[in-house]
Amino acid sequence: MKFWTTERHGAVCIATFSNPPRNYLVKPAIDEFEQLIEQWRDPSIRAVVIQSRPEDAGFMTHYSVDELNELISDPATSRYSAAIVRRYKVIFDRLQALPKVIIAALNGDTMGGGFELTLACDLRIGQKGDFRYGNPELRVGLIPGAGGTQRLTRLIGLSRAVEWVLRARIVQPEVARELGLVHEVVNDAPARALELAEEIASFPPKAVENAKIALYRGADTNLQAGFEIENMQWTEVMQSDDAQLALRTYIAEELDSRRDWFESENSKNYPTYAGR
């Protein structure tokens, strides 16, 4: 692949994006990313970290404006612009639907289409530094088109999303955390993302999968329907080999040590799960 490299750290796959000199997203990079998503369906991969090289100019600085301009300037291709961005939204949907945790380590500027991609990740880790996160699309006559307006509304609420998009805001990492757009801001986002990925990768995988389904599907419906979705996922996971083994591991602990067990490394080191 030209734009992506991957490496394994046990059950965690680390995907590193690089497109110097400015780390713009372009269609060939998204095409490669779609291939990676299919590879991440491998059950041996329990978590994924997406990052950039520290020496590059951004995490995913934004989608190439030059490429967008060429697209709409040519009558032969401008008619297909809606289909192209709709495909990107579908790719990001597939990313979010993976039955494992996806963590974005925003170790550089992350705006526009790059920020939209991170909104399809489960966790976003910001990094201290002279970086900018945001959706400045209106400043160049566009709007977020790869799911950004809808994911933002569900993430931070309609009122904040309206202000964010209509002002075409770009902010420093600490402000993004205050707004709820990133979960943490740390000195080394890739290192922290890997730490979190290894933690969640150690949990029973069926529980991680079903928790994601309950959270995301429930967020798109009313409360009572969400309860039903949760109940279906709870019932399924309760009948899994993962749950049976994990529960037996816990109840083998002495009563007086069970609370401490939740905070110990032992709670992150279950035996191998059946069928995994």
Q: Of the listed 116, 163, 184, 236, which one is catalytic?
A: 116
Distance CA 211, CA 43 (A): 17
User: Catalytic: which of 137, 209, 254, 265?
Assistant: 137
Is 116 catalytic? The answer is yes
Amino acid identity at 145:
G
Which residues are paired to 141 by β-bridges? none
Nearest to 110 by CA among 51, 150, 152: 51
- Helix 205-219 to helix 241-251 angle, to the nearest 10 degrees? 110
| Cβ pair 60, 148 in contact under 8 A | no
38 given a catalytic annotation: no
Q: Which amino acid is present at 47?
A: A
User: At CA 97, angle to CA 123 and CA 227, rounded to 5?
Assistant: 90
What does DSSP say about strands 133-134 and 101-106: parallel, antiparallel, or unpaired?
unpaired
Query: CA-CA distance, 150 to 145, in Å (whole number)?
Result: 9
Looking at the annotation, which residues are catalytic?
116, 137
